[in-house]
Amino acid sequence: MSANIPMPEVASRSAIAGQNSDFGALLKQSMAAVGQNQMEAGKLAASFERGDAGADLGRTMVAVQKADLSLRAMTEVRNKLVDAYKDIMNMPV
C-alpha cells in the first residue's frame, strides 16, 4: 500500500479523557435534577397537605408526576448501563 495516504488524526488522550468526564458530569447533573424534582414535588405535596394558601392541586400533581417520570427514566438508564456492563464482562477475551 502507498505510504502517501493521509491518516485521520487520532484524538489525544486529554480529549478522550475530556469526553469521559463529560459523560460522568452529565450523569451527575441528571441525577441531581432527579433529586431536585423529588424535593420540589415533596415540598409542594406537603404544602398542599397543610392547606397553605396558594397551594395548587394541579401544580402539585404535575410536579409529582414529573418527579415520578424522571425517576423512572433514571432507573431505566441505570438498568441499561448495568446490562451493558454485564455484556462487556461476559465477552470472551
DSSP state, residue 81: H
Domain boundaries, the chain: 13-89
51 touches 70 (CB < 8 A): no
Nearest to 37 by CA among 61, 77, 75, 66: 66
37 touches 70 (CB < 8 A): yes
pLDDT in tens, 30-61: 999 999 999 999 999 999 999 988 888 999 99
Query: What phi and psi, each to the nearest 5 degrees, are found at residue 84?
Result: -65, -40
pTM of the model: 0.68
